[in-house]
Amino acid sequence: KPGWLTLEILESSAIEDLFTVSQIIIECRKLGVYFSIDDFGTGYASLTYLKSLPVHELKIDRSFIKDLASDLQSLAIMQSLVSMGQAFNLKVIAEGVENDQQAAMLLKLGYELAQGYRIARPMPSANVLDWLNAWQVFPHWQLVEKIKDAKGLALVAIIAEHKAWVEMIKRYVETASKELPPLHPSECRFGRWLQGEGTSVLGMHRDEIESLHQSVHVVGEEAVALKKIGDIQSARKELSELEKLKNQIVSIIEQLISERGEELFSEEMNQS
């Protein structure tokens, strides 16, 4: 059937001779063959060439998915790419999904298609049909809802920022990294957000999260100090406590995101 065969082309190859590639795609489309741009985002992407190529699918490079839950830039890029795909009426597939955390973040951003080891590993062609017939979406994935408003997305972004701070402390303790995040609570991005927009967004949870955030910095700074004097074992104990504090903050904010989604759903129902 038309559309059953999709050929992947690399973004870098597609723009070498845009006119010729475009004409080939047009002729193949007449035969029912579709085209996908693979590793999208790693080349010299532009809206001009994307508009010129009659492809039906974008496959977002795995480099943007790898640290999605703790990298604010990757989060912003992935949010932009799914919106761009919708604007161009293109399917958007996230490559390299290897765990539930990445999958949940993509679902929250509005991604519906993905590939990666969390879904399936490479297999012999003879096994594909059996796998396809047996495949079912994981129940816990079905519970993840797309975030529909700017405030909800801002909360997702601030979670990523908080996780990134903690990950930087961990790398400093566990590796030879010399890079450190701001150690004073009012200087990190999460702290600045707390003092500004976060005050109204968090509501009754503001003081609780502020207290946890202060503790995060105290523990993080202690871990750094212990690493500097060579007491790695004690520093790792502080990292364990840091992880617990991080999870407490994330849990509260994720609950707020969930409540925000329920409020929007109720508003939509009332309007209808």
Provide the CATH number for the domain around residue 209.
1.20.120
Please identify which residue in the block is written with the tokens 């065969």.
5
Residue ending a domain, choose from 88, 116, 142? 142
Contact of 77 with 68, CB cutoff 8 Å: no
Same domain membership, residue 159 and residue 133:
no
Task: For residues 210 and 194, give the distance between their C-alpha atoms in angstroms, rounded to a whole number.
Answer: 7
Q: Is 98 in the same domain as 185? A: no
Place of tokens 């958007």: 92
Q: Which residue in the block uniquely carries the two structure tokens 């532009």? A: 46
Which residues lie across from 59 on neighbouring strands?
93
Count up the domains in the chain and report the number: 2
pLDDT at residue number 263? 59
Is the pLDDT score of 211 beyond 90? Answer: yes
How much is the average pLDDT of 238-261? 91
Distance CA 64, CA 96 (A): 9
Q: Is the pLDDT of residue 259 over 90?
A: no
Which CATH number characterizes residue 127's domain?
A: 3.20.20.450
Q: Is the pLDDT of residue 57 over 50?
A: yes
In the numeric block, the tokens 């957000």 are attached to 193
Among residues 93, 115, 142, the one where a domain terminates is 142
15 & 116 share domain: yes
- Residue 13 phi, psi (nearest 5): -75, -35
Q: What does the pLDDT average to over 113-137?
A: 95
Same domain? For 52 and 107 the reply is yes
- Given a contact cutoff of 8 angstroms between Cβ atoms, the answer to whether 238 and 219 are in contact is yes
Mean pLDDT score, 140-163 = 85
Q: How far apart are CA 190 and CA 86, in angstroms?
A: 31
Q: What mean pLDDT is predicted for residues 43-52?
A: 68
Same domain, 166 and 249: yes
By mean pLDDT, which of 149-153, 197-201, 241-245 is the weakest?
Answer: 149-153
pLDDT at 107 over 50: yes
Same domain, 200 and 125: no
Specify whether 130 is located in the same domain as 203: no
- 49-53, 114-118, 187-191, 202-206: which has the minimum mean pLDDT? 49-53
- Mark whether 29 and 135 lie in a shared domain: yes
Give the pLDDT of residue 45: 56
State residue 179's pLDDT score: 92
> 10 Å Cβ neighbour count for 6?
14
Q: Which two tokens stand for residue 182?
A: 């701001």
Cα dihedral sign for 91, 95, 97, 102? negative
User: Residue 225 contacts by C-beta under 8 Å, 6 or more apart in sequence?
Assistant: none
- Residues 27 and 83 both lie in one domain: yes
CA distance 253 to 205: 9
| 129 and 154 share one domain | no
Answer whether residue 252 shows pLDDT above 70: yes
Mean pLDDT of the chain: 87
The domain boundary residue, chosen from 109, 142, 175: 142
User: Is residue 270 predicted with pLDDT exceeding 80?
Assistant: no
Per-residue pLDDT at 146 exceeds 80: yes
Banded model confidence at residue 39, pLDDT cuts 50, 70, 90 = confident
Does 1 have pLDDT greater than 90? no
pLDDT of 46? 59
Contacts 24+ apart (CB under 8 A), 250-255: 250/159, 250/162, 250/163, 252/205, 252/208, 252/209, 252/212, 253/155, 253/158, 253/159, 253/202, 253/209, 254/159
Query: H helices within 88-149, ranges in order?
Result: 100-109, 128-134, 139-142
Q: What percent of the chain stands above pLDDT 70? A: 93
Confidence of residue 268 (pLDDT cuts 50, 70, 90): very low
pLDDT level of residue 151 (50, 70, 90 thresholds): confident
Domain that holds residue 264: 150-271
Decide if pLDDT at 118 tops 50: yes
- What would the mean pLDDT of 64-73 be, rounded to a whole number? 82
Axis crossing angle, helix 100-109 with helix 150-174, rounded to the nearest 10: 150
Helix (H) or strand (E) holding 202: helix 198-202
Decide if pLDDT at 125 tops 50. Answer: yes
* Lowest-confidence segment of 30-34, 105-109, 268-272 by average pLDDT: 268-272
Q: Are 15 and 128 found together in one domain?
A: yes
Beta bridge partners of 114: 94
- The pLDDT of residue 238 is 97
Q: Based on the domain organization, do 157 and 136 belong to the same domain? A: no
